[in-house]
Each structure stands twice: as structure tokens, then as C-alpha cells.
Amino acid sequence: MISQDFPNAGTLWYQDEKTNPKAPDFKGSIGVDREYLKQLLNEQQDNVVEIKIDGWRSKIEISGEQKPVIRMSVNTWKPDPNKKKYNSSVDNFPF
């Protein structure tokens, strides 16, 4: 279930009752903020738009049983192009 309170986040649920061997091990969804999607579409010129995702293994108790899940988040971090980078040249050393 996608939550309006947690944009750019979601969960993959372990599928312990697979109907065939080719069925996925996990199923789920992630809700991505519309403005972030527009930004990605505007920045990338290719036909395929890359969305970077971070994931954490976790367990959730359901009906008294621990179920494995993967919590996901869209990685929206970008380096600040205006931030000065550390220069490790010899000139920075006090000796």
C-alpha cells in the first residue's frame, strides 16, 4: 500500500506461497513523488529513466509470525554542484 505520508518509499513483501517456480520471491510497490518524476524526466534524455532505490532487510510481525520484507526508498540525493570540494594538495598542509 502506498502512503501519501511517506513519498518515495515502499515495501517488497516475501511471497512464501508461490504458485510456480518462476514467480517472484518478493512483490510490492513504491510511491514516487510526482514532482520528482517530472524532474527525472526533464533531466534525462534517454528512453529509459533510471530511478535509484535503496533497500533495507527487515521483518514485520503478522498474525504472530515474523515475515521478511525489504523496505525501499527512492534515492533522491544529488551532490551540490556549488559545494566546494576538499582539495588534498600539498598547499593545504601546515608544514
The parent domain of residue 27 ranges over 9-77
Task: Say if 28 falls within a structural domain.
Answer: yes
pLDDT at 93 over 50: no
Q: Cα separation of 48 and 40, whole Å?
A: 11
Least confident of 2-11, 30-39, 48-57, 68-77: 2-11
Task: Say if 71 falls within a structural domain.
Answer: yes
State how many domains the chain has.
1
pLDDT digits (tens, 9 = 90+) for 12-53: 999 988 889 999 999 999 998 889 889 888 888 888 888 889
Task: Say if 1 falls within a structural domain.
Answer: no
Percentage of the chain beyond pLDDT 90 is 31
pLDDT at 94: 47
Q: Which of 1, 21, 4 is nearest to 13 (CA)?
A: 1
Burial group, residue 10, by CB count within 10 angstroms (0-12, 13-18, 19+): buried
Task: Say if 30 falls within a structural domain.
Answer: yes
